[in-house]
């Protein structure tokens, strides 16, 4: 048995209605990353200079040295870019979420005061703007705790949201275990918030973005002009807004950096986008904490027994009867590589069918013979499984006239004599008349053809049964 931890399903084909406030068709959320003064620098005790997200093409870290050009680019973000963005957003009356690196905030008290005066959310962006991927788990846990402590000291309130950015495979779990955050944003995997179960904690995740993000001005492929940034944001907005009009509202995250979008030519594209979205009705521009509070109230988490997390005994007890009287199929399915993608009807169905399809002909024939005759003696005696009883009743096979029952009995007898297994059909796809028509048509097929068709119908019956039990 193995389990695959990544979730390739998410909400599946039917995402929940977020029910944004005021019936908004889209939530457009702006994040301003404040990293200036928290980046890699020997002045900060780091091994070398910063090399990430600047206007220096092909930048590389300088081990043991200060990189004057890199430092001054970051300083531009604090000295000029921040204030340009502050004027833009306060002027548009749009609040933002700050992803604040704690050590950067400590070096920018005037900017912190302006963030607070504007009622912007100041979420945590970690202790320093450095890589976490190589940190031992205990070192990262300590860095998270120190980020919270220092942030609280500087801002006057602890952060309620967290985004590392340069995270490790352990980061989300460690931040969730810290147990003080309303949301974590170190994922890029959805257009809506979702809940993540971490031990006993139900942690809200609000996914972020690296594509509707001005970091693309500093990476390849990327943006060259503000107009390109505007065009991309506009196209994303238009697509999501149309989905919202069709009843499938989503969230649009936009990531910004003081030293990047804060440059005049780049900012022009952002300003154009703000002007553009203000021409639409039903656009909500919240802080991330506003989204978190709304989601927790509107879509509180409810735990349930997930198939991929069941013991073998529980899994077989739940799904051993999906293929009629054949619990060995569920036993085999439980041993496959299951994961969150299997925690739904389609997922369990696929796992069960894999075992059924790869079984020997004799085993598959035994599954076919485990199925009762349609409207046969077992039905008359009330000895069908509850699933078969319900299925036959759904097509009216429990309410046959004497003539119809005689016809079914004759067809059943002839079919079994010819093919060696009962006639099987997913009755929920049919009514009484179409079942009889299929019976009459299929009885003349060769046995190999009927074996394949019967197996396909068994899988279809299993699919219906699972849809009664699972999302």
Q: What's the pLDDT at 1?
A: 65
SS3 69: helix
Phi, psi of 469 (to 5 degrees): -110, -30
Q: Can you tell me the distance from the alpha carbon of 132 to that of 126, in angstroms, rounded to the nearest whole number? A: 10
Marked catalytic residue, from 67, 125, 371, 419: 371
| Paired tokens of 238 | 């238009």
In angstroms, the Cα distances linking 119 to 57, 116, 160, 290 are 36, 5, 14, 12
Contact 272, 232 (CB under 8 A): no
Pairing of strands 194-198, 201-205: antiparallel
Closest of 48, 41, 57, 36 to residue 112, by C-alpha: 36
Q: How far apart are CA 425 and CA 411, in angstroms?
A: 14
* CB half-sphere exposure, 364, CA atoms < 13 A: 21
Residue 89 CB partners (closer than 8 Å, separation 6+): 30, 32, 95, 96, 118, 274
pLDDT at site 286: 98
The answer to whether the beta carbons of residues 440 and 411 sit under 8 Å apart is yes
Check if 44 is active-site. no
Can you give the pLDDT at residue 394?
61
Contact residues for 277 (Cβ-Cβ < 8 A; gap 6+): 28, 237, 283, 285
Give pTM, 2 decimals.
0.90
| pLDDT score of 398 | 62
Q: Write down the pLDDT at residue 219.
A: 83
- List the chain residues with pLDDT less than 70: 1, 375-386, 388-400
Q: So what's the pLDDT on residue 375?
A: 61
pLDDT for residue 332: 97
Residue 320's pLDDT is 97
Distance from C-alpha of 152 to C-alpha of 82, rounded to nearest angstrom: 21
Helix or strand run (H / E) with residue 18: none
Residue 220: per-residue pLDDT: 78
């Amino acid at each position: 048995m193995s389990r695959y931890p990544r979730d390739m399903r998410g909400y599946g084909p039917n995402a929940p209605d977020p029910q944004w406030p005021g019936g908004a068709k889209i939530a457009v959320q702006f994040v301003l990353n404040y990293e200036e003064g928290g980046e890699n620098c020997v002045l900060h005790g780091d091994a070398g200079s910063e090399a990430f997200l600047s206007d220096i093409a092909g930048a590389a870290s300088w081990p043991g040295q200060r990189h004057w050009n890199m430092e001054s680019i970051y300083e531009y973000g604090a000295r000029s870019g921040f204030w340009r963005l502050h004027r833009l957003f306060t002027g548009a009356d749009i609040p933002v979420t700050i992803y604040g690196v704690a050590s950067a905030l400590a070096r920018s008290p005037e900017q912190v005061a302006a963030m607070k005066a504007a009622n912007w959310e100041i979420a945590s962006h970690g202790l320093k703007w450095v890589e976490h991927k190589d940190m031992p788990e205990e070192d990262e846990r300590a860095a998270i705790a120190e980020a919270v402590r220092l942030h609280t000291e500087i801002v006057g309130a602890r952060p309620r949201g967290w985004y590392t950015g340069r995270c490790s495979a352990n980061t989300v779990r460690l931040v969730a275990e810290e147990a003080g955050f309303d949301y974590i944003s170190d994922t890029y995997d959805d257009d809506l918030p979702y809940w993540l179960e971490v031990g006993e904690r139900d942690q809200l995740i609000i996914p972020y973005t690296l594509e509707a993000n001005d970091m693309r001005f500093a990476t390849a492929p990327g943006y060259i002009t503000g107009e390109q940034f505007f065009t991309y944001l506009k196209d994303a907005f238009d697509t999501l807004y149309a989905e919202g009009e069709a009843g499938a509202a989503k969230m649009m995250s936009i990531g910004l950096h003081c030293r990047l979008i804060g440059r005049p030519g780049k900012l022009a594209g952002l300003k154009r986008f703000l002007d553009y979205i203000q021409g639409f009705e039903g656009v909500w521009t919240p802080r991330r904490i506003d989204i978190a509070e709304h989601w927790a109230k509107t879509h509180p988490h409810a735990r349930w027994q997930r198939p991929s997390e069941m013991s073998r005994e529980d899994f077989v007890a739940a799904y051993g009867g999906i293929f009629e009287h054949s619990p060995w199929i569920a036993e085999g399915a439980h041993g496959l590589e299951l994961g969150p993608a299997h925690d739904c009807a389609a997922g369990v169905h696929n796992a069960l069918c894999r075992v059924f399809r790869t079984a020997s002909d004799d085993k598959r024939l035994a599954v076919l013979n485990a199925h009762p005759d349609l409207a046969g003696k077992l039905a008359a005696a009330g000895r069908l499984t509850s699933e078969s009883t319900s299925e036959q009743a759904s097509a009216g096979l429990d309410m046959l006239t004497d003539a119809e029952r005689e016809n079914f009995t004759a067809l059943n007898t002839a079919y079994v004599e010819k093919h060696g297994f009962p006639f099987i059909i997913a009755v929920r796809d049919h009514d009484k008349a179409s079942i009889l028509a299929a019976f009459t048509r299929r009885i003349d097929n060769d046995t190999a053809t009927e074996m394949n068709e019967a197996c396909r119908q068994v899988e279809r019956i299993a699919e219906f049964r699972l849809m009664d039990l699972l999302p």
